[in-house]
Amino acid sequence: MKHLLPFITGFISFMVISTVFYMGIMPYPTSSCVVPEDQMNMGIMLLGNALMVGLATYMISLGGQYSAKSGAAHGAVAGLAANGMLNLFIYGFFTCDGGHIFPLNEVAIDIIANIAFMAAAGAGIGVMYARKG
C-alpha cells in the first residue's frame, strides 16, 4: 500500500490531464502512418502511461523528499526522460510517406506537455507519500 496509493494518485491525475489535452486541445495527428483514433490499442496506451507514472513514483520514493514541490520536480524529470526519449526516437528512426511521422513542432509540443502533465502527477505522488497513514 505504501507505493500503490501514490502510484494510483499519479496515474489518475496524469490520465485526466492528458485526456483533456489530447482529446480537447491538441488535434489528433493527421499522418497516414498514425492509427486512426477509433483503432488505437487503449490497453497498450494505458500500460505505457502506467510505466511512465511508475518511473516517477519510483524516483520520488528513492528521493525520499515527500512534498508536492519535490514530487513535481521528480515527475517532470521522469516525463522529460520517458516521453522525450519516445518522441525523439520516433522522430529520428521512423519515416512515413517520405517524411517524418510527426513534424518537429508537434514533437516539441508533446514533450513539453508531458513534462507539465508528469509534474502534476508527481506533485500528487509526493503529497500521497507525505501523508502519515
Distance CA 120, CA 56 (A): 11
What pLDDT, on a 0 to 100 scale, did the predictor assign at position 32?
83
Q: Where are the alpha helices (DSSP H) in the chain?
A: 4-20, 42-63, 68-93, 104-130
The pTM is what?
0.92
What pLDDT, on a 0 to 100 scale, did the predictor assign at position 30?
76
Residues 6+ apart with CB under 8 A from 27: none
What pLDDT, on a 0 to 100 scale, did the predictor assign at position 133?
52
What pLDDT, on a 0 to 100 scale, did the predictor assign at position 1?
79
Residue indicated by cell numbers 490497453: 43
Are 89 and 55 a contacting pair, CB within 8 Å? no
Per DSSP, the residues of 94-115 read: -EETTEESS-HHHHHHHHHHHH
What pLDDT, on a 0 to 100 scale, did the predictor assign at position 37?
85
Are 72 and 116 a contacting pair, CB within 8 Å? no
Are 81 and 50 a contacting pair, CB within 8 Å? no
pLDDT tens-place values along the chain, 133 residues long: 799 999 999 999 999 999 999 989 988 887 788 898 889 999 999 999 999 999 999 999 999 999 999 999 999 999 999 999 999 999 999 988 888 888 899 999 999 999 999 999 999 999 999 997 5
